[in-house]
Amino acid sequence: MIKKDKFEIIKYLEKNKISENLKGRDFLKLLDFSTEEILFLVELSEQLKKEKKQGISHRVLQGKNIALIFEKTSTRTRCAFEVAGYDLGMNVTYLDSQGSQIGKKESIADTASVLTGMFDGIEYRGYGQSIVEELAEHSKVPVWNGLTDEFHPTQILADFLTINEKFGTLKGLKLVYMGDSRFNMGNSLMVGCAKVGINFVACCPKQYVPDKNLIETCQKIAEQNGSTLEFTEDVEAGVKDANVIYTDVWVSMGEPFEVWQTRINELLPYKVTQQVMDMANENAVFMHCLPAYHDKNTKIGKEICEKFGLDSLEVSDEVFSSSKSVVFEEAENRMHTIKAVMLATLIK
């Protein structure tokens, strides 16, 4: 394996003034970051990905310790933080909702003070955005949001890295989000697209659009970056000329099982099928943060599909498995982008 000297990586970061501003910062939501900072993190991820494939070592944070708190389950985010942490030379401690005192016997504020004394960085996945914000407020080390009900910012960096790899640009593209646009993925994509100048469309029933204050904030950001936000119930008009068709599950972690019935009734017309992909731009790709209910090969997917007489939910297996689907590149990119976030915020 070729070893990259620590000095070289630090020099790469020093070449860009933006990286100075990222040191020691929390990564809680994209609204806290400028367009330049977001694009810098995507560019850094691209560099780290290229170097990893060349066998170049990134152990520049050797000896540091990070804590990963997961109050909800995860495959990609946990693995991405762990592998990126190990690649950077760090030691990683995983805390789940059952095995720690967090929230049950110890407040978020006290947990933050305890972890700050032992760790150099803390990842948090859980429920309300206010919890991760509180954790950050009481921590003296960077806190990274690994998903809350409102936002999933590290996912968006991976999505942008993937889109940039496919189209060679972000600005000026059209991304259409199909389905429940008012939860973490719809919100975060709207913010991210506004920040980097992607034209964003939420294609869903009216009651599924993001919060009105968040829309107003994002309208202003989008205007500054020369892009638009659109909200439509009309699938054909919404997906016309789209470069990216994006969807997510209709019922998110933490929501009651009972809401499936209403979601299926209201969101079935927004399922991503081959017909939807055919209405988009010829070069359109299909994206999904995953996990996805594209067939009956999961416990929940099978149960819901059989109950409602369906063979898949938010996306058909035909689209999911097609050559237009970039979902597994997107999943791999979680690791490279999370590595960039930890490197940029922890490097001295």
Interaction partner, residue 10 (ligand CP, ligand NVA, none; CB < 5-8 Å by kind)? none
Instruction: List the one residue from 62, 75, 107, 219 that touches ligand CP (CB under 6 A).
Output: 75
CA distance 163 to 242: 13
CA distance 102 to 22: 28
Given the structure tokens 């919100």, which residue do they identify? Answer: 187
Structure-block tokens of residue 8: 């070289």
Measured CA to CA in angstroms, residue 195 lies from 40, 158, 192 at distances of 13, 15, 5
Residue 176 near ligand NVA by CB under 6 A: no
Residue 298 near ligand NVA by CB under 6 A: no
248 catalytic? Reply is yes
Q: Stretches 1-9, 68-76, 206-214, 272-280: which one binds ligand CP (CB under 6 A)?
A: 68-76
Instruction: List the one residue from 77, 111, 148, 181 that touches ligand CP (CB under 6 A).
Output: 77
Q: 134 — alpha (psi -120 to 50), left (phi > 0) or beta?
A: alpha
Interaction partner, residue 75 (ligand CP, ligand NVA, none; CB < 5-8 Å by kind)? ligand CP
Instruction: List the one residue from 65, 91, 100, 252 that touches ligand NVA (CB under 6 A).
Output: 252
Closer residue to ligand CP (CB): 75 or 107: 75
289 catalytic? Reply is yes
Edge to edge, the sheet with strand 65-70 lists 91-96, 65-70, 121-125, 143-145
Structural contact between residues 177 and 246, judged by C-beta atoms closer than 8 angstroms: yes
Q: Considering 58, 76, 78, 125, which one is annotated as catalytic?
A: 125
CA distance 175 to 239: 8
Structural contact between residues 154 and 341, judged by C-beta atoms closer than 8 angstroms: yes
125 catalytic? Reply is yes
Residues 134-173 binding ligand NVA (CB under 6 A) are: 147
Q: What are phi and psi of 37, to 5 degrees?
A: -65, -40
Instruction: List the one residue from 38, 289, 346, 347 that touches ligand CP (CB under 6 A).
Output: 289
Residues 154-183 binding ligand CP (CB under 6 A) are: 155
Helix (H) or strand (E) segment spanning residue 319: helix 317-320
76 catalytic? Reply is no
Residues 34-53 binding ligand CP (CB under 6 A) are: none
Residue 79 near ligand NVA by CB under 6 A: no
CA distance 121 to 65: 7
Structural contact between residues 180 and 250, judged by C-beta atoms closer than 8 angstroms: yes
Residue type, 133: E
Residue 289 near ligand NVA by CB under 6 A: yes
Instruction: List the one residue from 83, 290, 300, 310 that touches ligand CP (CB under 6 A).
Output: 290
Instruction: List the one residue from 76, 174, 182, 336 that touches ligand CP (CB under 6 A).
Output: 76
CA distance 294 to 311: 8
Closer residue to ligand NVA (CB): 181 or 316: 181
Given the structure tokens 């498995």, which residue do they identify? Answer: 321
Instruction: List the one residue from 41, 45, 71, 74 that touches ligand CP (CB under 6 A).
Output: 74
Q: Which residues are catalytic?
A: 125, 152, 155, 248, 289, 334
Residues near ligand CP, by CB under 6 A: 74-77, 147, 155, 289-290
Residues near ligand NVA, by CB under 6 A: 147, 183-185, 248-249, 252-253, 289
